[in-house]
Amino acid sequence: MFVTVKIKKYLMLLLVLCVSNVNFAQNQKLFKYEHFINQTDTLNYRILLPKQFDGTKQYPLVLFLHGAGERGNDNAKQLVHGSSLFAKRKHRRKFPAIVILPQCPQNDYWANAIIDRTTNPYTMDFPLDSLPTKSLNLVMQLMDEMASKPFVKTDQIYVGGLSMGGMGTFEILYRKPTLFAAAFAICGGGNIETASQYAKNTPLWVFHGANDDIVDPQLSIEMVSAYLKAGGKPNFSLYSNDNHNSWDSAFAEPKLLPWLFSKSKL
């Protein structure tokens, strides 16, 4: 009996992996390769356009920032987590939007973060007295360029991210407080002093796993608390059984995309 259960679990794992590989291969085709170049610096990114994209119409724009494990220069790994959420047929049909997934190089980070990886969870500090990282600066320039396009709805520009990308989400909200109509941050963190810059202007949904042994869930709790104190009214989902991969639960939230795309800048 025990052996049979183990075999069933193994077969289920293989099925999940096969489905994931198929989804990843499909997303590779849907998200087109692009590069943003500023002088000697290049930012790799992938872009998903709505079906039957029409340049004379306007669409919402979503920026999604990946985690540290997807850094590199292949312009592909950033599709591992998050791309399937936006690539699903029913979501593309119901929420036609332009989706951008940039890739951070291996030696850089989306956020200014001082990280001690000898502790469990990691100990993190987010200094305010630093310029944005090169990668985040390029992302901000790319977003400015995209916002100037006639086919982008400037009152419906959104940002979200996971882990390192969740940290990048909090930081880009601070650095571009009037750009985004809504944001979601998964298992991230940031400097609590920044929340006042965007709390009253940008609806926020924060996700974290209570068992996260990499990024302390207290970091999200502190950001939510600071956001509340600054006059914001966030959604906050803390999953009691989740470890660091709380993005799986976040992406499974049926209300996430309806909530996101319902928000517009006043």
- What band does 156 get if pLDDT is binned at 50, 70 and 90? very high
- What band does 15 get if pLDDT is binned at 50, 70 and 90? low
Q: Is the pLDDT of residue 142 over 60?
A: yes
**Of residues 246 and 8, more confidently modeled:** 246
Mean pLDDT across the stretch 157-186? 98
Global pTM reads 0.91
Mean pLDDT across the stretch 186-203? 98
Mean pLDDT across the stretch 110-125? 97
Position 9 scores a pLDDT of 55
Digit-coded pLDDT (tens) for 19-53: 444 555 667 789 999 999 999 999 999 999 999 99
Position 2 scores a pLDDT of 45
Q: What is the fold of 31-261?
A: Rossmann fold (3.40.50)
d(CA 256, CA 259): 5
Mean pLDDT across the stretch 221-243? 98
The rounded mean pLDDT for the chain is 93
Mean pLDDT across the stretch 99-113? 98
Per-domain residue ranges of the chain: 31-261
**Of residues 1 and 105, more confidently modeled:** 105
CA angle, 102 then 188 then 120, to 5° = 120
Position 10 scores a pLDDT of 60
Residue whose token pair is 């002093």: 193
Q: Is the pLDDT of residue 14 over 60?
A: no
How far, CA to CA in Å, does 257 sit from each of 2, 90, 194, 242, 250? 41, 11, 25, 21, 10
Mean pLDDT across the stretch 223-251? 98
Position 198 scores a pLDDT of 98
Mean pLDDT across the stretch 51-76? 98
Position 17 scores a pLDDT of 44
Digit-coded pLDDT (tens) for 68-78: 999 999 999 99
Count the neighbouring beta carbons within 10 Å of the beta carbon of residue 101: 27
Position 266 scores a pLDDT of 80
d(CA 142, CA 103): 12
